[in-house]
């Protein structure tokens, strides 16, 4: 008896290659497996309608600025606000929100960053609109350039297809939204964004480690660790989100959404409103008379990382 | 022919672990398990009590040690199953008995369970993990991967069950399907990173092949280690109780690990050489791998301990050295995962972003924290426990079937 036969001594095992019947079964199973996998991959690539409502039901008749007559020399904020109201009077699928940032006007004050943090109640480590500072030249001939970086609301968003649970999608008006109640917090979208525009809410609080003060409260005018403002809900996506008890958006990926909740109320994104240099413009690119359309068509605009093919909706005047 | 190659590999058949090895290794393994469990429990407490706060990853490096463990674990599972199932289908000496197959299936489960736990613990919302199966988006390689693992586990479980039956007309066909899945999901693990255009270091078509090569290498190395120190159990004195069969199996696994090491490092060289001679977008990440603060992970752990040393040990004719080599490859190959995972994230596309808004979690550096290491130990203990329980069940069922 050779060594190979020893292997089977006294026990049932595998003898030789497969029988014809086994080979047919194996071929069928492997073929079916490949067909299912391939079919699933192909079907998944079909375009899906966004889960948001669309059509006439999304038209908003907003009374904002009704009593303020337009003037030729009015602030651009007022003009953009009127244009926003006009855009909201259209169904959502007819709006194309874009942002234009004039880097020549940006002074790097970071007011937009902080306003965004305040508006969206962002915890430590979560930021939607940092302002990147670049330095050119050597001292004393130094020049600075400031580049605010909101979410680019890409037309080909790399963050969307990688989400394993359909928790993020491109809305009809172009905003890339997140459903905090669906997000599992895997952070794949964060890795997929070349702009670093998504950050994860790890559950930190600005009040972590703060003193609580005496029980009678006399020496804790700011409430220390129990500051009530820390638990105030944010209003992103038109819903009140409370972070206490590890509720969403704690544990989720978060990002700029052009202050969607403000748009629905006829208000400009907080960053545009707060910009002291009037360097941030927001509006509907589908409105040929809008300020943003005018700026994009008349100036030399660029997008960030155009070679990535993401087709951003944030344009920079340089 | 197989007998010939076996006898060439060693001068004399090696003493089987069933004879005396178990007595040596059992207390040591229990000790390792107890230490891992004890220390790991501290990490698990920290993870549960404090969430992600004690972890070192952040928003610019969103994945860390646990994700590397996850991909290493599923790689071992796929590789071990593919090797053992192919051996069974081809009726290779040392692999043709169902007991050898069952040992590999149990090993696959023991590798996958802690891997799943690793990625589960990494989620921001662990309670929603099932959504990846109930509401998947197959445009995501993560969802595709998750379904593939679960399909694999289902097929492997069915193979394990029917391996006890006399009518095995479906076993080999199912094993073929299992091998397909076991080859696909490690490749998809590479594609998981490869599809991310945002990270130039990941965006390489070689990555799925490298992940497959490392999976088969690490899986075969783990089989080598398991068979070397524990062996496979079966009634009627089969298998690793027989020195000839044991040596045949060890020699076959040694060849696979050797070939896998050569293939992996060749692929890695191909990837790196392109970058070294074309210092464009990948270059900063590769600089980090080769000359960054964790240079030793590549040069010492990955290349030295996980490559050259086991290669040299496998070239000897001493099966004892092969076992050591199997251990080194199975453990040190996690560095291959880390060297893909971390440097790929550590280079941002927008220069100056890290300084724009400063916070420890908005940082392109990553250092695993004590909590992450302790949880990793817990996962090792879980894997060992799953293997122990699975092996006991396999043994009991085999005895009953006999």
Mutate to test the interface with B, among A196, A207, A271, A312 (most CBs of B within 10 A): A196
CA of A198 vs chain B CAs: smallest distance (Å): 7
- pLDDT per residue over B102-117, tens digit each? 999 999 999 999 999 9
Domain count, chain B: 1
- pLDDT per residue over B261-307, tens digit each? 999 999 999 988 888 877 666 678 888 888 888 888 899 999 999 99
Q: What is the C-alpha to C-alpha distance for residues B297 and A293, in angstroms, rounded to an integer? A: 52
Say whether residue B148 is in contact with chain A using an 8 A CB cutoff: yes
The interface residues of chain B toward chain A in range 335-394, judged by CB-CB distance below 8 A, are 345, 348-353, 355-357, 359-362
Contacts of B121 (CB under 8 A, 6+ apart): B47, B66, B375
Q: Is the pLDDT of residue A213 over 80?
A: no
Q: Kind and range of the H or E element at A24?
A: helix A20-44
Q: Which of A149, A184, A188 is opposite residue B129, by nearest beta carbon? A: A184
CA of B396 vs chain A CAs: smallest distance (Å): 16
Mutate to test the interface with B, among A9, A12, A42 (most CBs of B within 10 A): A12
Inter-chain residue contact B131 with A190, CB threshold 8 Å: no
Q: Which of A45, A185, A201 is opposite residue B139, by nearest beta carbon? A: A45
Say whether residue B173 is in contact with chain A using an 8 A CB cutoff: yes
Inter-chain residue contact A182 with B237, CB threshold 8 Å: no
Q: Which of B89, B142, B245 is opposite residue A186, by nearest beta carbon? A: B142
What number is the average pLDDT over the span A38-67?
A: 85
ipTM of the complex: 0.89
Q: What is the C-alpha to C-alpha distance for residues A301 and A281, in angstroms, rounded to an integer? A: 13
| pLDDT for position B279 | 67
Range of the domain at B49: 2-401
Query: Domains of chain A, with CATH numbers?
Result: 57-317 (3.30.70.20)
Q: Which of B3, B91, B168 is opposite residue A3, by nearest beta carbon? A: B3
| pLDDT for position B399 | 81
Say whether residue B6 is in contact with chain A using an 8 A CB cutoff: yes
Contacts of A8 (CB under 8 A, 6+ apart): A15, B96, B97
Q: Which of B138, B170, B361 is opposite residue A202, by nearest beta carbon? A: B361
Q: Is the pLDDT of residue A4 over 80?
A: no
Can you give chain B as a three-state secondary structure string?
Answer: CHHHHHHHHCCCCCCCHHHHHHHHHHHHHHHHHHHHHHHHHHHHHHHHHHCCCCCCCCCCCCCCHHHHHHHHHHHHHHHHHHHHHHHHHCCCCCCCCHHHHHHHHHHHHHHHHHHHHHHHHHCCCHHHCCHHHHCCCCCCHHHHHHHHHHHHHHHHHHHHHHCCCCCCCCHHHHHHHHHHHHHHHHHHHHHHHHCCCCCCCCCCCCHHHHHHHHHHHHHHHHHHHHHHHCCCCCCCCCHHHCHHHHHHHHHHHHHHHHHHHHHHHHHHHHHHHHHHCCCCCCHHHHHHHHHCCCHHHHHHHHHHHHHHHHHHHHHCCCHHHHHHHHHHHHHHCHHHHHHHHHHHHCCCCCCCHHHHCCCCCCCCCCCCCHHHHHHHHHHHHHHHHHHHHHHHHHHHHHHHHC
CATH code for position B89? 1.20.1630.10
| pLDDT for position B232 | 67
Q: What is the C-alpha to C-alpha distance for residues A15 and A117, in angstroms, rounded to an integer? A: 69
Q: Which residues of chain B have pLDDT under 50?
A: 1-11, 20, 235-238
Q: Kind and range of the H or E element at A188?
A: helix A188-192
Say whether residue B33 is in contact with chain A using an 8 A CB cutoff: no
Q: Is the pLDDT of residue A318 over 60?
A: yes
| pLDDT for position A2 | 41
């Amino acid at each position: 008896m050779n060594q190979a036969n020893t292997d089977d001594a006294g026990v049932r095992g595998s003898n030789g290659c497969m029988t014809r019947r086994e080979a047919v079964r194996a071929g069928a199973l492997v073929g079916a497996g490949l067909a299912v996998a391939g079919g699933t991959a192909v079907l998944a690539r079909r375009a899906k309608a966004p889960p948001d409502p669309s059509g006439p039901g999304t038209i908003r008749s907003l009374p904002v600025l009704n009593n303020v007559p337009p003037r030729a020399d009015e602030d651009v904020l007022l003009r953009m606000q009127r244009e926003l109201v006009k855009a909201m009077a259209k169904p959502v699928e007819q709006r194309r929100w874009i942002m234009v940032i004039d880097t020549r006007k940006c002074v790097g004050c970071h007011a937009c960053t902080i306003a965004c943090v305040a508006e969206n109640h962002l915890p430590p480590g979560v930021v939607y609109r940092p302002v990147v500072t670049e330095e050119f030249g050597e001292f004393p001939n130094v020049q600075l350039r400031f580049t605010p970086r909101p979410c680019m609301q890409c037309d080909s968003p790399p963050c969307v297809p990688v989400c394993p649970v359909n928790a993020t999608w491109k809305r009809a008006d172009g905003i890339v939204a997140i459903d905090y109640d669906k997000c599992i917090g895997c952070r794949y979208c964060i890795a997929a964004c070349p702009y670093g525009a998504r950050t994860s809410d790890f559950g930190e609080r600005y009040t972590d480690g703060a003193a609580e003060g005496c029980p009678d409260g006399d020496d804790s005018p700011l409430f220390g660790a129990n500051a009530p403002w820390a638990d105030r809900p944010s209003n992103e996506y038109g819903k009140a989100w409370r972070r206490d008890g590890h509720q969403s958006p704690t544990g989720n990926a978060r990002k700029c959404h052009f202050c969607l909740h403000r748009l629905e109320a006829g208000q400009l994104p907080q960053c545009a409103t707060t910009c002291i240099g009037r360097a941030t413009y927001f509006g509907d690119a589908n409105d040929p008379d809008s300020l943003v359309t005018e700026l994009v068509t008349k100036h030399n605009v660029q997008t960030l990382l155009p070679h990535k093919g993401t087709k951003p909706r944030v344009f920079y005047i340089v | 022919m197989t007998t010939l190659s076996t006898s060439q590999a060693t001068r004399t058949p090696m003493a089987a672990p069933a004879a005396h090895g178990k007595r040596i290794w059992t207390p040591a393994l229990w000790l390792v398990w107890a230490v891992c469990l004890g220390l790991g429990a501290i990490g698990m407490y920290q993870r549960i009590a404090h969430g992600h706060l004690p972890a070192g990853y952040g928003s610019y490096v969103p994945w860390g040690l646990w994700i590397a463990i996850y991909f290493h674990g599923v790689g071992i599972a796929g590789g071990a199953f593919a090797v053992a199932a192919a051996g069974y289908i081809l009726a290779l000496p040392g692999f043709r008995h169902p007991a050898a197959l069952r040992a590999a299936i149990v090993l696959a489960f023991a590798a996958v369970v802690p891997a799943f736990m690793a990625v589960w613990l990494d989620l921001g919302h662990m309670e929603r993990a099932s959504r990846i199966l109930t509401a998947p988006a197959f445009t995501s390689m993560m969802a595709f991967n998750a379904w593939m693992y679960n399909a694999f586990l289902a097929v492997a479980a069915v193979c394990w069950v029917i391996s006890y039956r006399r009518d095995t007309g479906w076993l080999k066909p199912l094993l073929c399907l299992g091998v397909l899945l076991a080859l696909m999901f490690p490749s998809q693990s590479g594609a998981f990173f490869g599809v991310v255009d945002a990270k130039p270091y990941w965006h390489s078509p070689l990555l799925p092949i490298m992940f497959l090569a490392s999976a088969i290498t690490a899986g075969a190395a783990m089989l080598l280690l398991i068979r070397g120190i524990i062996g496979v159990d079966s009634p009627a004195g089969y298998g690793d109780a027989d020195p000839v069969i044991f040596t045949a199996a060890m020699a076959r696994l040694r060849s696979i690990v050797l070939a896998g090491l050569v293939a992996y490092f060749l692929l890695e060289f191909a990837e790196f050489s392109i970058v070294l001679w074309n210092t464009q977008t990948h270059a900063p990440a590769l600089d980090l791998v080769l000359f960054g603060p964790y240079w030793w992970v590549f040069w010492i752990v990955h290349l030295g301990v996980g490559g050259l040393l086991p290669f040299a040990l496998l070239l000897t004719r001493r099966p004892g050295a092969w076992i050591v080599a199997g251990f080194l490859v199975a453990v040190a190959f996690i560095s291959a995962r880390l060297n893909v995972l971390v440097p790929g994230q550590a280079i941002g596309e927008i220069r100056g972003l890290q300084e724009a808004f400063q916070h420890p979690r908005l940082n392109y550096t990553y250092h695993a924290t004590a909590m992450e290491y302790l949880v990793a130990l817990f996962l090792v203990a879980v894997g060992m426990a799953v293997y122990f329980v699975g092996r006991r069940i396999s043994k009991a069922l085999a005895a009953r079937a006999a």
